[in-house]
């Protein structure tokens, strides 16, 4: 599904190298987790994959189902099936949440050559999915993320993800700032979307989320690279011993 080879990325305006030759392969239908200390480049990786401005790829490649992601505009990446749930979801004053969702869903359907959803069908779907995530009707009417609590923003990201039914879902610390109940809702939302044709990259600081979203593969990232890959037991090792043992072992 996703194949990254030797990816090197620096800041556009500064001489600062952030990703230093990152290799990562996520198979179709699998859930991979990335853990790693603060500042190791996890968010940068997700930004670069989604096409955010401000970063320059100096070497390497990233392909989604064999297509060059780095060559695509952000909206083309979304149309190709990539979705990023942000660590810090953006507020969009003046744009109603429902309007935003409907525009995004229809843009994606159009890019895939599918017909627009009727207003009725859209409403039915969004209400059902919002209910599962305990997002109330009022939150659907308010401007996107404006005045939402941290937990509400994260649940709203999962609602967007559920509505867009992407192939490759990247969740950047979607668990940070969530209480246990909100985290369970987010995890349930993700688990409901797990399927043979869909892959996930779950970036997290804590093993806690991975108790609910069971990963197939766990990677440890440090200083701009994946330095260790293993099974779910690797996340437990981090939980118990921190990163220092693993980092000492691979350095």
Q: Which residues bind Mg ion (CB under 5 A)?
A: 38, 42-43, 87
Q: Could you count the other beta carbons within 10 Å of the beta carbon of residue 83?
A: 22
Residue 58, interface with ligand ADP (CB under 6 A)? no
The partner in contact with residue 199, picked from Mg ion, ligand ADP, none with C-beta cut-offs of 5 to 8 angstroms by kind, is none
Using CB atoms within 10 Å of the CB of residue 125, give its burial: 0 to 12 exposed, 13 to 18 middle, 19+ buried. Answer: middle
Give min distance, CB of 17 to ligand ADP, in A. 9
Residues 147, 124: Cα–Cα separation, whole Å? 25
CB half-sphere exposure, 100, CA atoms < 13 A = 21
Q: Residue with the closest Cβ to Mg ion?
A: 43
Give min distance, CB of 122 to Mg ion, in A. 32
Give min distance, CB of 30 to Mg ion, in A. 22
Give min distance, CB of 74 to ligand ADP, in A. 16
Complex with Mg ion: residue 87 or 145, whichever CB lies closer? 87
Instruction: Give the residue, chosen from 1, 4, 9, 18, that forms a contact with ligand ADP under the rule CB under 6 A.
Output: 18
Residue 54, interface with ligand ADP (CB under 6 A)? yes
Residues 164, 30: Cα–Cα separation, whole Å? 19
Residue 97, interface with ligand ADP (CB under 6 A)? no
Residue pair 8/57 in contact (Cβ under 8 Å)? The answer is yes
Complex with Mg ion: residue 43 or 97, whichever CB lies closer? 43
Residue count, binding to ligand ADP (CB under 6 A) = 11
Complex with ligand ADP: residue 47 or 200, whichever CB lies closer? 47
The partner in contact with residue 44, picked from ligand ADP, Mg ion, none with C-beta cut-offs of 5 to 8 angstroms by kind, is ligand ADP
Complex with ligand ADP: residue 140 or 178, whichever CB lies closer? 178
Listed residue (100, 242, 89) closest to 174, CA to CA: 89
Give me the helices (H) in 144-193, please: 150-164, 180-193
* 217-222 vs 225-230, strand pairing mode: antiparallel
Site residues (CB under 6 A) for ligand ADP, limited to 24-53:
36, 38-44
Give min distance, CB of 157 to ligand ADP, in A. 16
Listed residue (172, 153, 155, 157) closest to 35, CA to CA: 172
Range 108-117, long-range pairs (CB < 8 A, 24+ positions): 108/78, 108/79, 108/164, 111/75, 111/76, 111/78, 111/79, 112/79
Give min distance, CB of 123 to Mg ion, in A. 35
Enumerate binding residues for ligand ADP (CB under 6 A). 11, 18, 36, 38-44, 54
């Amino acid at each position: 599904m996703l194949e990254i080879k030797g990816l090197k990325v620096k800041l556009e305006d500064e001489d600062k190298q952030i990703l230093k030759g990152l290799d990562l392969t996520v198979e179709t239908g699998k859930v991979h987790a990335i853990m790693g200390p603060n500042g190791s480049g996890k968010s940068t990786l997700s930004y670069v994959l989604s096409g955010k401005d401000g970063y320059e790829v100096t070497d390497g490649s990233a392909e989604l189902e064999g297509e060059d992601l780095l060559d695509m505009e952000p909206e083309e990446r979304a149309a190709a099936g990539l979705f990023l749930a942000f660590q810090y979801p953006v507020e969009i004053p003046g744009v109603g949440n429902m309007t935003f969702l409907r525009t995004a869903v229809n843009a994606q359907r159009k890019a895939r050559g599918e017909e627009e959803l009727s207003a009725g069908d859209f409403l039915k779907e969004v209400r059902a999915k919002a209910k599962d995530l305990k997002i109330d009707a009022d939150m659907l009417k308010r401007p996107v993320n404006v005045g939402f609590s941290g937990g509400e923003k994260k649940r709203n990201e999962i609602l967007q993800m559920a509505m867009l039914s992407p192939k490759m879902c990247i969740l950047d610390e979607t668990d940070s700032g969530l209480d246990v109940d909100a985290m369970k809702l987010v995890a349930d939302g993700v688990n409901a979307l797990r399927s043979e044709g869909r892959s996930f990259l779950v970036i997290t600081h804590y093993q806690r989320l991975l108790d609910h979203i069971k990963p197939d593969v766990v990677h440890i990232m440090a200083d701009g690279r994946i330095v260790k890959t293993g099974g779910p037991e690797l996340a437990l090792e981090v939980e118990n011993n921190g990163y220092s043992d693993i980092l000492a072992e691979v350095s």
